Structure 1
Amino acid sequence: MNGLLLSAGDALARPAGLTSARWQVLGVVDHGPVTIAEVARTMGLTRQTVRQTAASLASAGMLDYEDDPRDRRARLLVLTTRGRTALRSVERRQAAWANQVAARTSLSDLRSAIGILRDLGDLLEG
């Protein structure tokens, strides 16, 4: 299931010049300037993985780095106009895709699936 969702995410993100991973990093940064370590914690990834993804997004003009006033050693990731435009484009496609998927499933089945996934998450965390 994870592989299928990642493939669907890549297909949704591709027209905006993104991958699922790059889309997800932009989504975290969209909430406000954050450090690489904060993005890594939020996504459950290593800092090195996020650093590489952030570097590719910065090279593509979708992210910038700013000094972190809380920590002189850290840098903050911030969205550029290009990054925000790409993110909004993917979000529109994702909403349409999610609506199409949801239309093919009953509300009770969706609620049941959400409950099962929550329970599995709780078991794996505990």
Structure 2
Amino acid sequence: MNDPLRTPAGDAFAEFAISVLRLAGPLTAAGDVLARPSGQTSARWQVLAAANHAPMSVADAARALGLARQGVQRIADLLEEEGLIAYVDNPAHQRAKLMVPTPRGEEVLDEIKARQAVWADAFGAELGEERLQQATTLIGQAIALLRDRPTTA
């Protein structure tokens, strides 16, 4: 079977997309290593950090993280059981409670952030601030395009 013909720009985008997808695995593994001493995983860290950013519902956190609501709900419930977040009333929605970190949750997040800062500083120095900022801008633009233009078959 022959590969479909693409323009050079199409080939470049396909390679870019594959690279970004391949980056997710090592980043998640690194996040797990950074979160593990605090008894957490990369996924739990993401949800806890989202709750720490601003009080938000599980659905809001799922949208912000680009994850399925059900998966975020499962993680949020575990974080609540561990006393790391609390659900509080949402003035904008009667049933969708807001997640907020507890003092213990903030402590755990601070521990992870301290380890992440050392790790990020080392990788940032090696890859270069300007190049990383350019890559971040490009990825943000790709995300916006993908959200604004639904894929059709």
What TM-score results when the alignment is normalised by the length of structure 2?
0.73
> Could you say what the CA RMSD is over the residues aligned between the two structures, in angstroms?
1.8
Give yes or no for the alignment of 1:2 onto 2:14. Answer: no
After superposition, the Cα gap between the structure-2 partners of 1:40 and 1:85, relative to the gap in structure 1 and judged at 3 Å, is same
Larger RCO (CA under 8 A, 6+ residues apart): 1
Which residue is equivalent to 1:44? Answer: 66
Distance (Å, rounded) in 1 between the aligned partners of 2:138 and 2:95: 42
- 1:50-83 CA-to-partner distances (Å, cap 9, x unmatched) read 1100011011110111122222222111100111
- What are the ranges of 5 or more consecutive residues in structure 2 without an aligned counterpart? 1-22
Which residue is equivalent to 1:81? Answer: 103
Which residue is equivalent to 1:71? Answer: 93
Runs of 4+ in 1 over 4 A off after TM superposition: none
Q: Which moved more, 1:109-118 or 1:89-98?
A: 109-118
1:45 aligned counterpart, secondary structure: coil
- What are the ranges of 5 or more consecutive residues in structure 1 without an aligned counterpart? none
Select which of 28, 41, 49 maps to 1:19.
41
Q: Which moved more, 1:13-22 or 1:104-113?
A: 104-113
What is the number of equivalent residue pairs in this alignment? Answer: 126
Q: What fraction of aligned residue pairs are identical, expressed as a percent?
A: 41
